[in-house]
Amino acid sequence: MAIAHILGYPRIGEKRALKFAQEAFWNGELTAAGLQEVGKGLREQHWNKQQQAGLGFITAGDFTFYDHVLDHVVLFGAAPARFGFKGPLSEQDYFAMARGNKAQPAMEMTKWFDTNYHYIVPELNADTSFSINAHDFLSRLDEAQKLNKSVKPVLLGPVSLLYLSKAKGVDKLSLLDSLAEQYANLLKELHHRKIEWAQIDEPIFALDLDDAWLKAFERAYAWFRTSRPKLLLATYFANVARYQGYITSLPVDGVHIDLARAPEQLAPWLNALPGHWVLSAGVIDGRNIWRNDLDKSLETLQPLAAKLGERLWVAPSCSLLHTPVTLAHEEKLDVEIKSWLAFADQKLQELNILVKALNEGDEAVATQLAESRAAVQARHSSPRVHAVAVKARLAALDKVNEDRAHAYAERRKTQHEKLKLPLLPTTTIGSFPQTAEIRASRAAFKKGDIAVNQYEADMQAHIAYAIREQEALDIDVLVHGEAERNDMVEYFGEQLAGYAFTQHGWVQSYGSRCVKPPVIYGDVYRPQPMTVETAKYAQSLTSRPVKGMLTGPVTMLQWSFVRDDQPRQTTALQLALAIRDEVDDLQRAGIAVIQIDEPAFREGLPLQGAEWKQYLTWAVRAFKLSASVADDSTQIHTHMCYSEFNDILPAIAAMDADVITIETSRSHMELLDGFGEFKYPNEIGPGVYDIHSPRVPSEQEIRRLMQRAVEVVPVEQLWINPDCGLKTRAWEETRAALDNMVKVAKQLRQEFTA
Note whether 203 binds Zn ion by CB under 5 A: no
What would the x/- binding string for Zn ion be over residues 583 to 602, using CB under 5 A? ----------------x---
CB of 643 to ligand GLN, least distance (A): 10
Residue from the set 727, 740, 741, 745 that interacts with ligand GLN by CB under 6 A: 727
Selection from Zn ion, ligand GLN, none that 321 binds (CB < 5 to 8 A by kind) is none
- Sign of the CA dihedral running 477, 483, 487, 490: negative
Compute the distance between CA of residue 78 and CA of residue 88 in angstroms, rounded to an integer.
13
Residue (257 or 641) nearer to Zn ion, CB: 641
Residue (158 or 430) nearer to ligand GLN, CB: 430
Note whether 39 binds ligand GLN by CB under 6 A: no
Residue (458 or 597) nearer to ligand GLN, CB: 597
Residue (595 or 682) nearer to ligand GLN, CB: 595
CB of 690 to Zn ion, least distance (A): 11
Sorted by sequence, the CB contacts under 8 Å of residue 662 that are 6+ apart come out as: 639, 640, 641, 645, 671, 672, 684, 685, 686, 687
Residue from the set 69, 466, 724, 748 that interacts with ligand GLN by CB under 6 A: 724
Q: Phi and psi dihedrals of 15, rounded to 5? A: -125, 40
Stretch that binds ligand GLN, among 364-372, 461-469, 562-570, 722-730 (CB under 6 A): 722-730
Note whether 431 binds ligand GLN by CB under 6 A: yes
Subset of 477-496 contacting ligand GLN (CB under 6 A): 482, 488
Note whether 641 binds ligand GLN by CB under 6 A: yes
Note whether 684 binds ligand GLN by CB under 6 A: no
For residue 168, list its beta bridge partners: 125
Is the Cβ–Cβ distance between 503 and 329 less than 8 Å? yes
Compute the distance between CA of residue 177 and CA of residue 189 in angstroms, rounded to an integer.
18
Element (H, E) at 507: strand 507-510
Compute the distance between CA of residue 546 and CA of residue 389 in angstroms, rounded to an integer.
33
Q: Number of residues interacting with Zn ion: please give it, by CB under 5 A.
A: 3
Encode 517-577 in three state secondary structure: CCEEEEEEECCCCCCHHHHHHHHHCCCCCEEEEEECHHHHHHCCECCCCCCHHHHHHHHHH
Note whether 552 binds ligand GLN by CB under 6 A: no
Query: What is the DSSP-derived secondary structure letter of residue 128?
Result: -
Q: Phi and psi dihedrals of 674, rounded to 5? A: -60, -45
Subset of 240-299 contacting ligand GLN (CB under 6 A): none
CB of 661 to Zn ion, least distance (A): 8
Sorted by sequence, the CB contacts under 8 Å of residue 371 that are 6+ apart come out as: none
Residue from the set 153, 286, 425, 430 that interacts with ligand GLN by CB under 6 A: 430
CB of 599 to ligand GLN, least distance (A): 4
CB of 681 to ligand GLN, least distance (A): 23
> Distance of CA 89 to CAs 30, 42, 136, 211, Å?
18, 22, 11, 37
Stretch that binds ligand GLN, among 133-141, 426-434, 607-615, 682-690 (CB under 6 A): 426-434
> Distance of CA 750 to CAs 91, 416, 425, 709, Å?
55, 19, 13, 17
Note whether 597 binds ligand GLN by CB under 6 A: yes
Note whether 639 binds ligand GLN by CB under 6 A: yes
CB of 604 to ligand GLN, least distance (A): 15
CB of 218 to ligand GLN, least distance (A): 42
Residue (493 or 599) nearer to Zn ion, CB: 599
Selection from ligand GLN, Zn ion, none that 430 binds (CB < 5 to 8 A by kind) is ligand GLN
Note whether 220 binds ligand GLN by CB under 6 A: no
Sorted by sequence, the CB contacts under 8 Å of residue 238 that are 6+ apart come out as: 205, 206, 207, 258, 261, 262, 607, 608
Sorted by sequence, the CB contacts under 8 Å of residue 547 that are 6+ apart come out as: 427, 430, 477, 478, 479, 591, 593, 594, 595, 637
Residue from the set 278, 641, 652, 705 that interacts with Zn ion by CB under 5 A: 641
CB of 180 to ligand GLN, least distance (A): 40
- Neighbour count for residue 132 (Cβ, 10 Å): 16
CA 221 to chain centroid: 31
Residue (131 or 728) nearer to ligand GLN, CB: 728
Residue (379 or 547) nearer to ligand GLN, CB: 547
Selection from Zn ion, ligand GLN, none that 53 binds (CB < 5 to 8 A by kind) is none
Q: Number of residues interacting with ligand GLN: please give it, by CB under 6 A.
A: 13
Note whether 725 binds ligand GLN by CB under 6 A: yes
Sorted by sequence, the CB contacts under 8 Å of residue 401 that are 6+ apart come out as: 628
Is the Cβ–Cβ distance between 97 and 119 less than 8 Å? no
Helix axes 568-588, 612-627, angle to 10 degrees: 20
CB of 442 to ligand GLN, least distance (A): 15
Burial environment of residue 102 by CB neighbours within 10 A (0 to 12, 13 to 18, 19 or more): exposed
Q: Taking Cα atoms as reference points, which of 70, 162, 77 lies closest to residue 108? A: 70
CB of 724 to ligand GLN, least distance (A): 5
What would the x/- binding string for Zn ion be over residues 686 to 725, using CB under 5 A? --------------------------------------x-
CB of 555 to Zn ion, least distance (A): 10
- Of 192, 386, 416, 692, the active-site residue reads 692
Encode 280-310 in three state secondary structure: EEEEECCCCCECCCHHHHHHHHHHHHHHHHH
Selection from Zn ion, ligand GLN, none that 535 binds (CB < 5 to 8 A by kind) is none
Note whether 229 binds ligand GLN by CB under 6 A: no
Residue from the set 120, 154, 255, 429 that interacts with ligand GLN by CB under 6 A: 429
Query: What is the DSSP-derived secondary structure letter of residue 645?
Result: -
637 is catalytic: no
Query: What is the DSSP-derived secondary structure letter of residue 740?
Result: H
One-letter amino acid for residue 701 of the chain: E
Residue (10 or 599) nearer to Zn ion, CB: 599
Residue (282 or 430) nearer to ligand GLN, CB: 430
Q: Which residues are catalytic?
A: 692
Residues near Zn ion (CB under 5 A): 599, 641, 724
Residues near ligand GLN (CB under 6 A): 429-431, 482, 488, 549, 597, 599, 639, 641, 724-725, 727
